[in-house]
Amino acid sequence: MKSIFIKITSALLAFLVLFSTLSFTVESHYCGGFLMDISVIGEANDCGMKVEQTMAAEKINCCKDEVIITEGQDELHPVSFDTLNFEKQQFLTTFYSSYLNPVKEESSRNNIYKAFHRPVIPINYQIKYQSFLI
């Protein structure tokens, strides 16, 4: 069970590193306010309604291109244990040691009540003082 958990955790951490360094571009082409084409890999195709450059000043272009760029991390900087301040070092060492050696409750092997006998009471105090539980 522990080895399966370690494999799943290592796979998740590998995907975390992969997706934190991944960058991609999403291009979309709108014509008249409607989405005509969207592309993640290459350029989005236009709708074919291009305005001539000579008449561009007179006519308003109804097409619009949007480009969304998501850049990932270029370099990974590993943090050394020596660069952390004392409080963080202390927290990490106590967390690590408590994770490796959890507190285990030990059951007592000595049963001290095994040879215990009730004391002998010669007088029945309930009857003597007439105090009964109702």
Domain annotation covers residue 110: no
Q: Are 47 and 13 in contact (CB under 8 A)?
A: no
DSSP β-bridge partners for residue 24:
70
Burial class (CB in 10 A: 0-12, 13-18, 19+), 26: middle
In a domain, 29, yes or no: yes
Within-domain flag for 27: yes
Question: What phi and psi, each to the nearest 5 degrees, are found at residue 64?
Answer: -145, 135
Q: What is the pLDDT of residue 10?
A: 94
Say what the pTM is: 0.41
**Number of domains composing the chain:** 1
Residue among 31, 26, 19, 54 at smallest CA distance from 41: 26
The confidence score (pLDDT) of residue 132 equals 82
pLDDT for position 9: 94
Domain assignment present for 91 = yes
Residue of 47, 49, 52 whose CA lies nearest to 28: 47
Domain for residue 55, yes or no? Answer: yes
pLDDT in tens, the chain (134 residues): 888 999 999 999 999 888 878 888 899 988 888 888 888 877 878 777 765 555 555 556 788 888 988 887 777 677 777 788 889 889 988 888 888 777 676 666 666 666 777 788 888 888 888 888 87
Domain boundaries, position 49: 23-100
Is 15 contained in some domain? no
Q: What is the pLDDT of residue 12?
A: 95
Query: Does some domain include residue 117?
Result: no
Assess if residue 90 is contained within a domain.
yes
